[in-house]
Amino acid sequence: MYWYAISCYLPFQSLIILSAALAIAYLMSARLRLLITQPLHQLVDQMKIITGEKVYSADIGAEIDNDIVEVDELLTGFNDMLHQINKREFALQKHSEELESQVTERTIDLQQSNSELLSTVEKLGLARNEAIEASAAKSRFLANMSHEIRTPMIGVLGMAELLEKNATDSTQKELARTIHSSGESLLNILNDLLDISKVESGKLELEIAPFDPTNTLEASAELLADNALNKGLELTTIPSPDLPSLLYGDAGRLRQIILNLLSNAIKFTDSGKISVALSCHEIDNKNIWLTLNVSDSGIGLSDQAKKEIFNAFTQADSSTTRKYGGTGLGLTIVKQLTELMNGTITISDTVPHGTCFTLKIPFTYDRTPSQQPVERINKTVLIATENSDLSTMLSLHLSALGAKNEIISSGKVLLQQLNEPTKSFDTIFLDNTLLGDPRTFLTEDPTLCNKIIYMCSHSQALTTEEQKHLGISSCLTKPVHVKDIHQAIVPSLVKTKIATDSPVKYDTDKLNHSDKKILLAEDNLTNQRLVQLILEQQGYQLTIVSNGQQAIDATINTQFDLILMDCQMPIMDGYKASEIIRQTSQIPIIALTAHASNENTQACLAVGMNAYLCKPYRQKELLAQVEQFLLKKPPASSLNPEVQ
C-alpha cells in the first residue's frame, strides 16, 4: 500500500519538477535573450540604418542596453570601425573634392588653352597669308626693280662698250673700260640680290643639261684670271684626269658657285696663290660626287667667322667690309645653291695661312665614252715651276698620258739641268715665274729647240717669232687648260669637244647685211639708239617702233627678216604682239627683256618667240643672236635662251 502510494505520487512530482525546470529555463532564456540577442538585434538594426544613411559618425553604444562585457566589447569594436570608416570617408571626400577642384581648374585651363590655341592658329593663318603676300610683293618688287635697273644699265654698258671700241686714244679707252667695269659690278650685285630672293622664295629652279665639268671649271677660272694677275696672284685650275667628260646638271649654277668662291678668294688674298681643284668619286653606276676645292693663301678666317660667314650680308668683321668692300652675299648664295643641288660645303684652314672651301655635289653622268681614247705617249718631261699647284696639275695629266715627269722648283737647279749633257728631256714645261723673262737665258740652242713649252700670263705671251727665236715650241697662258697641255706636248692629240653651251660663231665679214631688214620694238629711247648704233654699223636696215601695236602694223606693211621685241612696252606689250604676229607669220622673234627668270622664258616660248636675250646684253651677244637667225632660221618653236 505504501509502495503503491509512492508510485502514484512520483509521476506527479516529476511533472511538477519538469514544469518548474521548464519555467526556470524559460526565464533564464528570456533573460539571456534580453542580455545577448536583443543587443545584437539592435546592433543589426543600427547597422542597417548606418548602411542606408551612410552616416558613419554615429555612436551606437547609447541606444543599446547592454550588461555583458563581450557584447560591450563588440559594440566598442564596431564603433571603432565606424570611426575608422568615417575618418577614411572624410579623407576620401576631401580628396574627391580636391580632385574635383583640380579637374575644374584643369578644365578651365584647358578651355583657356584651347581658346588661346585657336586664337594663335588664327593669328598664324593671318601671319602666313601676310607672309605669302609680303613674299609675293617682294618678288614683284624685285622683279620690277630688276627691270627698272637693267633697262638703264643696257644703255650704260652698251654705250661704254661702243665708246671703248671707237675710242681714238688709250685714255678714252681706259675711261670707257672703267665705266663698263663699274656697271658690271653693279649688275653683279643686282644678280646676287635676285638670286637670294629666288632661293628664299623657292622659285630658283635648276636647269638640267649635259656639260663638261673640266670645261666649266677652266672657263670659269678664265673669266677671273686677269683679276688674279692684277694682284700678282698665281691662279691654277686642277681638274682630275678621272673626271667624266659628260655630266648632267646645272652647269650655269656650278659656274656661278666657282666664280663666287674664286672672286672671294681673289678679294681676300693679297699675295701668294689660289687653286681650284675638281675631282670626283662614284656613288653608283649613274651618279657621282663632284668635289670642288677652292684654296687660297689669304687672310684666313677665325672660328667665329666660319660660323657666320654664310649668313646674308655678313663678312668676317666690320673692318673687313671697310677694307675689301662687298655685300656679303656671295658665300650665302654659294651655300644656298649647293644645298639646292643636294650638296654640302665645309671650310678649313690652309698651311701656313688661308682658307679652303670644299663642296661635294651629286651629279648624274653618262658612262658611255663620248670621245676617242687618247693615245698614250712615251716621253720624259721636265716640269719647272715654283708653283706646287701648277706642278701637281701638270704631273697628273702628263702621267695620265703615259709621260714620265720630273719636277724642279729652283731656277738654279733648272739651269744646271739644261746645261748638263747627260740629262735629256723630250719636253720642258717652263713657268715664267721661275727664271723671269726667257729672253735673258734662252738662245737658239739646238738641244732645246722645240722642247720648251713656256707658261705665262696673257700679257706676257710671246709672239710666234719670239717663240721661234728662243726655241720655244708653244706658249701656254695661265691658268693652263688641259686641252692646251695635250695639244702642246703632242699636237695630234686633240680631244673631241662635247657640244655644250658654247655659242655658235659666224664669220660676220662673209655675211651680206645690206639686204637684211630688222624690226626693233623698244620703248626706251636710249636702248633704241644703242641697238641702232650696233646694227647699223654692221649694215643692217633697221626700223624702230615704240610699242607692240606699232610692231604689228609694221609687219603688215613690210617683210622683215627678224624682229627684236621688247617684252614690256606701253599700249601693247611684246608678248601680245608676238602672239598676234605668230598667227600670220613665222618671222624669227628675239625677246629683249630685263626680267631674268625661268617664268619669263616660258612666257616667251608660249607666245612663239624664238630666242631670249636678257638685258643688259653685250654687243657680241646681240650680234651673235641676230646673225644666227639671219644665217640659218630655226623653227619658230625653238627657244634658245641666253640669260646672262
Query: Pairing mode, if any, of strands 562-566 and 589-593?
Result: parallel
Residue 3 has pLDDT above 80, yes or no: no
Q: How far apart are CA 470 and CA 462, in angstroms?
A: 10
pLDDT for position 285: 83
Residue type, 448: L
The x, y and z cell numbers of residue 156, run together, are: 650704260
**Lowest mean pLDDT across 303-312, 399-408, 617-626:** 303-312
390 lies in some domain: yes
pLDDT for position 516: 87
Residue 537 has pLDDT above 80, yes or no: yes
pLDDT for position 638: 37
pLDDT in tens, 458-490: 878 888 888 887 778 888 989 999 999 988 887
pLDDT for position 488: 86
Q: What is the mean pLDDT of residues 628-639?
A: 57
| 218 and 356 in a common domain | yes
Q: How far apart are CA 526 and CA 152, in angstroms?
A: 8
| 406 and 331 in a common domain | no
Residue 327 has pLDDT above 80, yes or no: no
Dihedral sign from CA coordinates of 204, 207, 208, 212 = negative
Residue that terminates a domain, selected from 439, 461, 489: 489
Q: How far apart are CA 361 and CA 365, in angstroms?
A: 13
DSSP 153-204: HHHHHHHHHHHHHH-SSHHHHHHHHHHHHHHHHHHHHHHHHHHHHHHHHT--
334 lies in some domain: yes
Residue 140 has pLDDT above 50, yes or no: yes
Q: How far apart are CA 628 and CA 644, in angstroms?
A: 18
Domain range for 450 is 380-489
pLDDT for position 448: 66
pLDDT in tens, 142-164: 667 776 777 777 778 888 888 88
| 569 and 596 in a common domain | yes
| 526 and 450 in a common domain | no
pLDDT for position 5: 61
527 lies in some domain: yes
86 lies in some domain: no
| 386 and 321 in a common domain | no
| 345 and 225 in a common domain | yes
pLDDT for position 371: 54
Domain of 322, CATH number, reads 3.30.565.10
Partner residues linked to 247 by β-bridges: 211, 365
pLDDT for position 64: 57
576 lies in some domain: yes
Q: How far apart are CA 311 and CA 100, in angstroms?
A: 54
Domain of 600, CATH number, reads 3.40.50.2300
Residue that terminates a domain, selected from 457, 489, 521: 489
Residue 236 has pLDDT above 90, yes or no: yes
526 lies in some domain: yes
| 385 and 303 in a common domain | no
Q: Which of 97-106, 182-191, 194-203, 288-297 has the highest mean pLDDT?
A: 288-297
371 lies in some domain: no
Tell me the pLDDT of the chain averaged across its residues.
79
State the DSSP H helix or E strand holding residue 236, giving kind and residue range, or none if neither.
strand 234-239
Cα–Cα distances in Å, from 353 out to 226, 301, 391? 23, 9, 21
207 lies in some domain: no
| 346 and 254 in a common domain | yes
Cα–Cα distances in Å, from 96 out to 92, 108, 109, 409? 6, 18, 19, 92
Strand order in the sheet with 427-431: 404-408, 380-384, 427-431, 452-456, 472-477
Q: Is 98 left (phi over 0), alpha (psi -120 to 50) or beta?
A: alpha
Residue that terminates a domain, selected from 20, 36, 67: 67
Q: What is the pTM of this model?
A: 0.64
| 473 and 579 in a common domain | no
Q: How far apart are CA 273 and CA 136, in angstroms?
A: 44
**Lowest mean pLDDT across 57-66, 313-322, 467-476, 585-594:** 313-322
pLDDT in tens, 109-130: 888 888 889 989 999 889 888 8
Of residues 61 and 172, which shows the higher confidence score?
Answer: 172
Q: How many domains does the chain have?
A: 4
| 330 and 261 in a common domain | yes
| 435 and 319 in a common domain | no
| 277 and 322 in a common domain | yes
The x, y and z cell numbers of residue 71, run together, are: 557584447
